Structure 1
Amino acid sequence: MQETLEWLKHAAVIGIGATAFMDLWAALMLRLFKIPALNYALVGRWLGHMPSGRFIHDNIARAAPIGCESWLGWGAHYGIGIGFAALLLTLCGPQWAYTPTLLPALLFGIMTVAAPFFIMQPGMGAGIAASKTPAPKVARRRSLMAHTAFGLGLYVAASLLTRV
């Protein structure tokens, strides 16, 4: 029981830290290069339509708004980050949280780009790997950069956790 609680604590702290690191990256990209971040209210809108059976949209921005969609989107963003951290700890073993190394975190972060490419973007109307967007290559590169930042954030968060 104690090991499970420790694993959950590590997954939560590392996942929140890595997601925050990803958000700091997005803020930096906005400030330096005027690259807009993902609108998490639209993620919340997409998720908010799911209980009524609507999983795929032509264009999520044109779908009916959902109450508290911004809160839902941001909550899902951080919840998914925690889930990904839990998966990393499952794949690498819980001991990784005590002696984190960069390569597994970075590779795992890059692999997480599969979720937006094959689940979120198609569901929100952007097509597989943003194929229906005006500039798919740009969108793919931005997604890859964001998820690479998430991977680096996994390592940074785990490293900081070992110091407390």
Structure 2
Amino acid sequence: MTSLLIDALLLGAGATAFMDIVALVQNRLFGIPSLNYAMVGRWLGHLLGGTFTHRPIGKSRPIRGEAALGWIAHYLIGVAFAAMFLVLVGAGWLSRPALVPALVFGVMTVLVPFLVLQPGMGAGIVARKLPEPNAARLRSLFAHFSFGLGLWITGLGSMLVL
């Protein structure tokens, strides 16, 4: 169990960091906005107080430390996803990281923002209430694709270290 937790921590943090680097490059090169993790922290802060849905989250009362809360949650979710991935594919995946399972899993994780985060933040299911829902959907899908790619790249990196 300890090995799974350590593997998930390293794999999830690496994949999430890769996802963030891709988002930064997209923003710098193409002006594509990425998710404001302070709003995730605001949503979580209000969620702990019993409020799930906002109309939209940007108009809700700020939460003290929301940016830090959002970023910490972002990485913890990445670690949780990595743990789920390792349970599904087996810990042996780390000794021979395969690209396809990592990409498929990464793309599947987009269901969480589509069905939980976006509705909770006031964007509706699969971002249907946003002014440009298809653009938001593609950004989310690409972010989670890059998380899957990050799983694979981090897995390859772990082979070099182990």
**Interval containing the TM-score (normalised by the shorter chain):** over 0.9
- Report whether the alignment pairs 1:112 with 2:109: yes
Q: Deviation above 4 Å: which 4+ runs of structure 1?
A: none
> Which residue identity is paired with 2:112?
A
- Report whether the alignment pairs 1:29 with 2:39: no
Partner of residue 118, structure 2: 121
Partner of residue 70, structure 2: 73
1:163 alignment partner, SS class: helix
Partner of residue 143, structure 1: 140
Alignment identity in percent?
53
Q: Distance in 1 between matches of 2:89 and 2:103?
A: 13
- Superposed CA deviations along residues 53-88 of structure 1, whole A, max 9, x for unmatched, are 101111000000000000000000000000000000
Shift, 1:98, TM fit: 1.7
Give 5+ residue unaligned stretches, structure 2: none
Partner of residue 160, structure 2: 163
Partner of residue 44, structure 1: 41
> Which residue identity is paired with 1:45?
R
Shift, 1:26, TM fit: 0.3
Shift, 1:99, TM fit: 1.4
Q: Distance in 1 between matches of 2:100 and 2:156?
A: 13
- Superposed CA deviations along residues 72-118 of structure 1, whole A, max 9, x for unmatched, are 00000000000000000000011112211000000000000000000
> Which residue identity is paired with 1:66?
I
Q: Distance in 1 between matches of 2:113 and 2:120?
A: 9
Q: Distance in 2 between matches of 1:136 and 1:24?
A: 24
> Which residue identity is paired with 2:107?
I
Give 5+ residue unaligned stretches, structure 1: none
State the Cα RMSD in Å: 0.6
Q: Distance in 1 between matches of 2:38 and 2:58?
A: 10
Structure 1 range deviating more: 117-126 or 49-58: 49-58
2:130 alignment partner, SS class: coil
> Which residue identity is paired with 2:34?
A
Structure 2-normalised TM-score? 0.98
Shift, 1:28, TM fit: 0.6
> Which residue identity is paired with 1:19?
T
